[in-house]
Amino acid sequence: MGVNWPGIWAIFHHEMMRFFRTIMQSLLSPVLSTMLYFVVFGAAIGGRIQSVEGVAYGAFIVPGLMMLTVLQQAVSNASFGIYFPKFSGTIYEYLVSPVGWIEVTLGFVGAAAAKAMLIAMMILLTSFFFVDLHILHPFWMLGFLFLTSVGFSLLGFIIGLWAKSFEQLQLVPMMVIMPLVFLGGAFYSANMLPPFWEAVAKLNPVLYLISGFRWAFFGMADVPVGVSLLAVGVMIAICLGIIRWIFATGWRLRE
């Protein structure tokens, strides 16, 4: 049996239309938040830290700001996208329709990843008004952006399947994702830390994603680029395995 592409498109289109119905709120909020980050971190801290490894601090934080937004948006859009059908009871329409777990996952995750990438590009465009920015490897930048968006959309999809309430839906993004991002080198380089804390920071998986993404901008990284690619690849594979198991067993789907 082949992949039901019309089914994937139907889910993807429905989710994207929900996004575009609130386009001003969906895009304006992240852009305003980014401007505040530039004011606080770029101006206040940048006045004390002129550059990091030869890169102006205002430009240095751009990849971190983009990753911060991508992780937040990918997780929240994917988790809410699949949780709402569970909450309203319409998820049974997906379970009895001629679409399998692959189509449902591609539809919801594809839409969440597309939203996250669109917002990230808006933040990138906004950054040009604040800093002089040059992207050393633009195709690698888009590649890391795509892989990270997909990886965390898959994670958000799992959170949406797991959550039993709106409180649980917000628990992991607020209590786990946000701290990992701030401790993952979004606004600093791990090489700036003392040796012990640098070793601790490298236990944070988000560090590898931000490091690879920053390398695409400036050619500098806290860890080898190959390791960053391996980290996001392993994440995607694990998430796909978990989602396949959930749909095979019906865990949390029929409660």
pLDDT score of 255: 61
Which pLDDT score is estimated for 44? 66
Query: Residue 42 has what pLDDT?
Result: 63
| Cβ atoms 17, 81 nearer than 8 A | no
Predicted TM-score of the model (pTM):
0.91
Name which of 218, 230, 174, 255 is nearest 60 in CA terms.
218
CA 76 and chain centroid, separation: 9
The sign of the torsion formed by the CA atoms of 216, 119, 177, 14 equals: negative
Whether the CB-CB separation of 229 and 151 falls below 8 Å is answered with: no
Query: How far is CA 212 from each of CA 112, 173, 200, 230, rounded to the nearest angstrom?
Result: 21, 22, 18, 10
Q: 57-72 in b/e burial notation, b at 16+ Cβ within 10 A? A: bbbbbbbbbbbbbbbb
One digit per residue, the tens of pLDDT, for the chain of length 255 reads: 578 899 999 999 999 998 888 777 777 777 787 778 777 766 666 666 777 888 888 888 899 889 988 998 999 999 999 999 988 888 888 888 888 899 999 999 999 999 999 999 988 988 888 888 889 999 999 999 999 999 999 999 999 999 988 888 888 888 888 888 888 888 888 888 888 888 888 888 899 999 999 999 999 988 899 999 999 999 999 999 999 999 999 888 866
Q: Residue 110 is which amino acid?
A: G
Alpha carbons 160 and 84: distance in angstroms, whole number: 8
